Structure 1
């Protein structure tokens, strides 16, 4: 074969990509080549190289196919992508300015039966339902009735009234937390924090009195239900906390509804987080103001010693723990509540263990804290630090779009 008849080395079968090429850059067109000599053999068609790389969004849709198919709007896809680690900076690699723009294209390209659905419109906030409102008012009403029954009875009748009231209030709180803005979503796993919540409420009623008696060598008798007994019992904190169930539901509803509305208008994950963070702090402050007012009112009506700092610390801890649980973050609330209960139980145990021979040093930290802040210092320290930890954790988790993708803008229960 002559030199002119040799095949050109730059034909389609000898294309070599250059090093460091952009994987999402479409392949360059074929370079000109010399006319081929017919040899009677049918040429094979080369496989299209980089077909998937030329459409990076299609490859991303394939990896998140289930998310794209079940999504009811682009916001759900954006939240799902964020939960899988896709950020606004990552979206630039897919030729989009942010995750929201990328999610809109993915939602539009999902094949659906029938005609293409119209663009989703922002969901309207539903109005309060009467049954949900009544459910949040029920714990406070039953607790007030229980406190009245304890004060109007004596002896065995008082014990019966306390037990029946405790059971009724527990069922009412459980019902209030089952639906509405304080209801746990189906996707949230069970953490078993109810036991720790009951402990914290019981300590708010009996713990300070027991600790005050323990550091002085008591108690000499069981609690009688009176604030001036050998083991003092206060009911104003529990009454204020149960009455605050309604403000807590309203605050959680306000936070979920406003965050969902801002999710529909945000154009980036950083933009959404920056707009929701002040909303979270404002909602938290609104609940604390309502709780402080209820604490002052309860202590004045029941003529009991004021314990506003303890009530606010405990209420802040329980509210933030529930708010995180409602939005699907259950691990941190369980850990923090367990730590608070452990601190309170350790303080009580060390006070009694110090009475053993040679163990007097065990009560030194507790005695120092009681001398400095009084018996309520244990509750303030354990619940206050726990609430601060959950607030910091919530400022990172509750400002994510994925925390509000499935949030229902429902009225409080």
Structure 2
């Protein structure tokens, strides 16, 4: 998909980009008097000799459009990819009517059928189309999706069974191991992005995860005049979020498969957007249900309260941000993650800055929220508002055909 968005239209002769269906002889009428006066006896300079050329160019507007989007037509593995690429370049159903087609999908089918292909190209296209749906194609990334949760469970057990310096060593090595396992899992499957995320996005994601483990205890200690020593860690939230990577991957796969099916069945861009929007709203809902169940199980197993608001909103934010990134929309996730992380930073800074002389008022807003709903309300509000903004944004971006032109998660 990144190739479709980055592809610039090739230069074409005037009138080649989305020409009208009727032939135009404007240039012929302009130049005819001048040429006939200077070369009256030259047959090639008469308007009649150029009229058939203009008629042939106007009689086949689809050919001119194919010339403009030649690279798109040659690289496409099916008509759906051409339709998505045309939509990304601003071609709508109304534009398709100028080319004597009822919608963009019908226009794309003709363009795909008219591209010459040899047997080798067809076999390559068939392999690319059938690859992600072949039996056993999901086994690799499905196994890797369980890796972050398994590693985190081993680290949590090690931390709870040790004390002192060994505990610190296990925690440090464990965090690094879980990070590497997560990076490995993100290289395969439906959560794999075509291009790597920016360093700012990775930094804010790391901060949000660190706050989910350490932030509530540190915030409580700061409001109580501390910290006076080690504060409690939210290991249940960390374990539940790590285990939730597997359902997140399957939810992303569900969105990809259903959207691809809707794309094949739709007969217009508006029809596709209306049909895929319920699927887009169902995917985060299913993930939140799975995450809530994991939070309850981990909390009961580790004897900790289940942080539904804080961890649940963070999980939803991370899922929506990754879905947008996978489908090529990176700016909105970076802004949302940065905004949520900045709110958490400001909350901690104001609490500790309130200890300065005459600055006690700085802790009043955070203290009011914590007294009303507990320390988990701060990350819950920050991540919840950011996740809601991304959900609204995704209903306008992930309902485009160009966002689902190629199956995501292909190895």
In structure 2, what is the Cα distance between the partners aligned to 1:81 and 1:193? 30
Q: Is the 8 A contact 1:299 1:306 kept in 2?
A: yes
Does 1:161 find its partner at 2:155?
Answer: no
Give the aligned partner of residue 185 of structure 1.
194
C-alpha deviation, 1:219, in angstroms: 0.8
Q: 1:163 to 1:58 in 2, by over 3 A?
A: same
Does 1:105 find its partner at 2:102?
Answer: no
- Please state which structure has a larger fraction of its residues in helix: 2
3-state SS of 2:382 partner: helix
In structure 1, what is the Cα distance between the partners aligned to 2:241 and 2:351? 28
Q: Which range is displaced more, 161-170 or 107-116? A: 107-116
Give the aligned partner of residue 364 of structure 2.
364
Pick from 137, 144, 148 the counterpart of residue 135 of structure 1. Answer: 144
C-alpha deviation, 1:191, in angstroms: 5.5
C-alpha deviation, 1:276, in angstroms: 0.8
C-alpha deviation, 1:181, in angstroms: 1.0
C-alpha deviation, 1:96, in angstroms: 1.0
C-alpha deviation, 1:141, in angstroms: 1.2
Give the aligned partner of residue 227 of structure 2.
219
C-alpha deviation, 1:167, in angstroms: 0.9
Q: 1:110 to 1:233 in 2, by over 3 A?
A: same
In structure 2, what is the Cα distance between the partners aligned to 1:262 and 1:196? 34
Pick from 54, 61, 78 the counterpart of residue 56 of structure 1. Answer: 61
Residue correspondence of structure 1 range 388-399 to structure 2 within 5 A: 388-399=388-399
In structure 2, what is the Cα distance between the partners aligned to 1:218 and 1:54? 80
Give the aligned partner of residue 308 of structure 1.
308
Q: Deviations over 1:153-189 (max 9, x none)?
A: 1111110110011111111111111111111124x66
- Structure 1: which 5+ runs fail to align? 1-21, 29-39, 224-230
Does 1:209 find its partner at 2:217?
Answer: yes
Q: 1:127 to 1:408 in 2, by over 3 A?
A: farther
Pick from 95, 98, 112 the counterpart of residue 90 of structure 1. Answer: 95
Q: Is the 8 A contact 1:257 1:410 kept in 2?
A: no
3-state SS of 2:146 partner: helix
Residue correspondence of structure 1 range 326-345 to structure 2 within 5 A: 326-345=326-345
Q: 1:191 to 1:160 in 2, by over 3 A?
A: closer
Q: Is the 8 A contact 1:183 1:326 kept in 2?
A: yes
- Structure 2: which 5+ runs fail to align? 1-18, 26-39
In structure 2, what is the Cα distance between the partners aligned to 1:140 and 1:269? 39
In structure 1, what is the Cα distance between the partners aligned to 2:318 and 2:186? 12
C-alpha deviation, 1:62, in angstroms: 2.1
3-state SS of 1:219 partner: coil
Q: 1:342 to 1:141 in 2, by over 3 A?
A: same
In structure 1, what is the Cα distance between the partners aligned to 2:43 and 2:307? 90
Q: Deviations over 1:216-245 (max 9, x none)?
A: 211112x2xxxxxxx221200010000011
Give the aligned partner of residue 183 of structure 2.
174
C-alpha deviation, 1:396, in angstroms: 1.2
Give the aligned partner of residue 150 of structure 1.
159
Count of residue correspondences: 369
Give the aligned partner of residue 31 of structure 1.
none
Structure of larger gyration radius: 1
